A = this chain, B = another copy of it.
Amino acid sequence: MADSLTLDPVDLEILRLLQNDARTTYRDLAAAVGVAPSTCLDRVSRLRRGGVILGHALRLDPAKLGRSLEALLSVQVRPHRRELIGPFVERVRALPESLSLFHLTGPDDYLVHVAVVDAADLQRLVLDEFTSHKEVARVETRLIFQQWSCGPLLPPGAAAT
């Protein structure tokens, strides 16, 4: 079900180019790939319908918005039952500081990527929104020194050209 869509080299090249700049026009895309613009449009529509392309996101600089400090919070939720973790997840997702949230294997159940103003703001966030809630058994905070984006996402075995 996951890989129900067949991706030929043209699709792969389109995905690779659009990951560099999602605003590339179909005209430029067509010129780079070597097909007609209408074909490009068809391919992208098909990739969107097929769920390969989930959407177009804006990449923002949190520091430019006054959130100069980023951190990862490892959170243990105990007891780890559905009626507790559902509300926990929704509450964390709604926090203005939250960037993304993961449910993981291992001793720490959740990992939260947050962007805050400074260390004092981080302390406030951890105390008021995490450790003060009774379902939160433990929080471990790690600051992010630096982060990097990686190469384009491609299927296994696709040459990175």
Contacts and interface: CB of A to CB of B under 8 A. Distances in A.
Interface residues of A, number: 68
Chain A interface SS verdict (over half) = mixed
Contacts of A145: 103-105
Count this chain's copies in the assembly: 2
B62 A142 contact: no
B59 A57 contact: yes
A3 B153 CA distance: 32
Contacts of A147: 100-103
A131 to B, nearest CB: 18
Contacts of A19: 57-58, 60
Interface in A70-116: 72, 89, 92-96, 98-106, 108, 111, 115-116
Contact of A22 (B56, B105, B148, B153): B56
Q: Which of A63, A65, A117 has the most chain B CB within a 10 Å cutoff?
A: A65
